[in-house]
Amino acid sequence: MSTINSDEVARLAGLARIDLGPEEIEKLAGELDVIVQAVATVSEVAGDDVPATSHPIPLTNVLREDVVGQTLPVDEVLAQAPAAEDGQFAVPQILGEDA
Amino acid sequence: MADSTDLPRLTAADLAAKLTAGEVSSVEATQAHLDRIAAVDSRIHSFLHVNTEEALAAAADVDTRRAAGEELAPLAGVPIAVKDVVVTKGQPTTAGSKILQGWIPPYDATLVERLRAAGMPILGKTNMDEFAMGSSTEHSAYGPTRNPWDTDRIPGGSGGGSAAAVAAYEAPLAIGTDTGGSIRQPAAVTGTVGVKPTYGGVSRYGLIALASSLDQAGPCSRTVLDSALLHDVIGGHDPRDSTSLPEVPPSYTEAARKGADGDLAGVRVGVVTQLGGQGYQAGVSAAFAASLEELRAAGAEIVEVSCPSFDAALAAYYLILPSEASSNLAKFDGMRFGLRVEPADGPVTAERVMAATRGAGFGPEVKRRIILGTYALSAGYYDAYYGSAQKVRTLIQRDFAAAFEQADVLVSPTAPSTAFPFGEKVDDPLAMYLNDVATIPANLAGVPGLSLPNGLSDGLPAGFQILAPARADERLYRVGAALEARLDQANGGPLLARAPEIEVKA
């Protein structure tokens, strides 16, 4: 199995959108390497003939009537947002300059 | 009228009986618990928020309705504490995280709606490991909860606040959530009772999701009957949770009352070979063996069952949980609720704000698990990790199915050790993860589990776990109540009565 070094942690933190300082990256690399080695044993347990289970209790086709359900009052929701404007969430610019 | 300082010592069932008989009002009972919280919580830190005014108003409303002759739910007027991962309209809900500090949800979880409909005043929100990631509450962003048995030790986790609140007589009942043991393990180390229902037995609507295929809310209490009473309030189908079980559940209260006669003739109890022995503290194993003898004396047939795939459960869990968590926690992006942090320099784009917010708002364990989950789901590793873990899940379900052919319930120690001192495992994630080794298989298979206190090991409580097939939660209550009755008789009262008194603030 592969190992997790600092470069890999930095790459994963980028994918997960979490800013990490150099010390955090260093510490996580050591810890995750140990954890991954421990959990990697799962690949040796089950053979190809074993189906995967995603869900503990199988339920299929859970449908409801196609009618308007309960909604939340817009002002109550926006009151808890970091920023709001004109009845909408106010967010930073979506695209960077080079986009 | 009862002395108000004694009211918090009553079980929920006894308090409900006094309320029904008019011997005490809900305002008196609720105030007595708020007084107890004021006296001991600076020492225990079970609560992140105390909901004084609303709780007293809800209590007064119940008293008025009762006085008017209205027919009320069995637990009407009995106060309760709610884990802070469950959203409560008008009360702050943080899930133990800085990223949600100060957030007031605009809606109630379904189970909270049911508590309110049953007339149960909500005392406040209980402390927990951040986003329910942990086994000690040391990962709470707001400081740990302390174990009422020894305040230098952990109360278990993630629901250490709910378990400690019940153990410290701050609340007769509490709501917990259990993704890998977060109700049962805290119950074990605090000498209380905790139940993880069958997956889908209690609605997940309004639970801040950790791992959606594993999460399940359930009761925390001091007796098996009290958990059953609460389970009957919060359980049942909810159209707002598509994984909610559609059938009408039986009365768990009835099952607990039936069990309390202590007769288990004809019940087959399976001891799981893989969940005991090496790695389990000697005192925990001794308490477990003594409880088996009690079950035998109650007429149960004890058989040994083998579940070989359980050995891989912990590894599978620590791939499935981080994978689901990394996806579920993507919603904390600094845009719609909670914290927003702008990057220190450079362009202020949505992507960079999201990264800065999560870097500042998440604690170390949350970062660790999100990055582990991101790794497990990333290209090139998916089949080896997440795919394999899901296959292990199938094997564990098969092991349970085979075991339940031989036994009506399965049993084990709830946790391998009693409460450990703060700091002992916080820097060793793998050691911390091992606390859940006996509780995790139930979550992976969706089966229900109960922990009840079954003895002391070096003066600290140990827990006894009972597992039943999916949709057979009533067996937990019957067997649990029977064992509890016999242990109480053997010990001359509940184990919790032997906990030291908490120093009360004058």
In chain B, what are the domains? Answer: 7-309+394-498 (3.90.1300.10)
3-state SS, B287-342, equals: HHHHHHHHHHHCCCEEEEECCHHHHHHHHHHHHHHHHHHHHHHHHCCCCCCCCCCC
Q: Which of residues 458-487 of B touch A (CB under 8 A)?
A: 470
Q: How far is A57 from chain B (nearest CA, A)?
A: 6
Query: From the candidates B244, B274, B372, B397, which should be mutated to test the interface with A, based on the most A CB atoms within 10 A?
Result: B372
- Yes or no, beta carbons of B200 and A57 under 8 Å apart: yes
Q: Which of residues 309-338 of B touch A (CB under 8 A)?
A: 309, 312, 315-316, 318-319, 326, 330, 333-338
Beta strand B193-196 pairing with B268-272: unpaired
- Yes or no, beta carbons of B349 and A17 under 8 Å apart: no
Q: How far is B77 from chain A (nearest CA, A)?
A: 28
Domain range annotation of chain A: 6-44
Q: Which of residues 360-399 of B touch A (CB under 8 A)?
A: 360, 362, 364, 367-368, 370-372, 374-375, 378, 381, 384-385, 387-395, 397
- Which residue of chain B comes nearest to A94, CA vs CA? B350
Q: How far apart are the first and last CA of chain A?
A: 37
**8 Å CB contact between B341 and B358:** no
pLDDT at B70: 97
The residue assigned the tokens 């009211």 is B7
Q: How far apart are the first and last CA of chain B?
A: 24
Q: Does B351 touch chain A (CB under 8 A)?
A: yes
Which residues in B lie closer than 8 A to residue A1 (C-beta atoms)? 384
- Which residue of chain B comes nearest to A37, CA vs CA? B315
Residues of B identified as active-site: 83, 158, 182
For residue range B60-76, list pLDDT tens digits in order.
999 999 999 999 999 99
- Yes or no, beta carbons of B359 and A18 under 8 Å apart: yes
- Yes or no, beta carbons of A16 and B104 under 8 Å apart: no
pLDDT at B285: 97
Residue B438 has pLDDT above 50, yes or no: yes
Using DSSP, state whether B147 is helix, strand or coil.
Answer: strand
For residue range B120-155, list pLDDT tens digits in order.
999 999 999 999 999 999 999 999 999 999 999 999
Which residues in A lie closer than 8 A to residue B103 (C-beta atoms)? 80
pLDDT at A3: 77
Residue B10 to residues B13, B75, B170, B329: CA-CA distances in angstroms?
8, 13, 11, 39
Quote the mean pLDDT of chain B: 96
**8 Å CB contact between B196 and B470:** no
Residues whose CB falls within 8 Å of the CB of residue B16, separated by 6 or more in sequence, listed in order: B74, B75, B76, B77, B78, B229
- Yes or no, beta carbons of B384 and A40 under 8 Å apart: yes
- Yes or no, beta carbons of B430 and A81 under 8 Å apart: no
- Yes or no, beta carbons of A19 and B444 under 8 Å apart: no
Which residues in A lie closer than 8 A to residue B309 (C-beta atoms)? 45
pLDDT at B194: 98
Residue B502 has pLDDT above 70, yes or no: yes
Query: From the candidates A27, A57, A88, which should be mutated to test the interface with B, based on the most B CB atoms within 10 A?
Result: A57
Beta strand A88-89 pairing with A84-85: antiparallel
Closest CA to B272 of B215, B299, B311, B298: B311
- Yes or no, beta carbons of B429 and A83 under 8 Å apart: no
pLDDT at B379: 83
pLDDT at B410: 98
Q: How far is B181 from chain A (nearest CA, A)?
A: 16
Average pLDDT of span B15-37: 98
- Per-residue model confidence as pLDDT tens for chain A (99 residues): 457 999 999 999 999 999 999 999 999 999 999 999 999 889 899 888 999 998 888 888 888 889 998 899 999 999 999 999 999 999 999 887 665
- Of A18, A35, A40, nearest to B370 by CB-CB distance is A18
Percent of chain B beyond pLDDT 70? 99
Residue B212 to residues B130, B320, B329, B439: CA-CA distances in angstroms?
16, 10, 11, 17
Q: How many CB atoms lie within 10 A of CB B73?
A: 18
Task: Using pLDDT thresholds of 50, 70 and 90, give the confidence band for residue B188.
Answer: very high
**8 Å CB contact between B473 and B252:** yes
Beta bridge partners, B413, equal: B464
ipTM for the whole complex: 0.94
Helical ranges in B340-382 per DSSP H: 350-361, 364-377
- Yes or no, beta carbons of B326 and A1 under 8 Å apart: no
Residue B454 to residues A36, A81, B289, B487, B495: CA-CA distances in angstroms?
35, 47, 10, 7, 8
- Of B358, B371, B470, nearest to A57 by CB-CB distance is B470
Q: How many residue pairs from chains A and B have C-beta atoms closer than 8 A?
A: 186
Task: Using pLDDT thresholds of 50, 70 and 90, give the confidence band for residue B1.
Answer: very low
Residue B270 has pLDDT above 50, yes or no: yes
- Yes or no, beta carbons of B318 and A35 under 8 Å apart: yes
Q: Please tell me the distance from the alpha carbon of residue B438 to that of residue B502, in angstroms, as a whole number.
A: 30
- Which residue of chain A comes nearest to B430, CA vs CA? A35
Residue B463 to residues B185, B222, B414: CA-CA distances in angstroms?
8, 13, 5
pLDDT at A1: 46
- For chain B, the farthest-separated pair of C-alpha atoms sits apart, in whole angstroms, at 72
Q: Which of residues 201-220 of B touch A (CB under 8 A)?
A: 213-214
Which residues in B lie closer than 8 A to residue A39 (C-beta atoms)? 315-316, 318-319, 385, 389
Fold of A6-44: Histone, subunit A (1.10.20)
**8 Å CB contact between B173 and B439:** no
- Of A14, A59, A93, nearest to B243 by CB-CB distance is A59
pLDDT at A76: 94
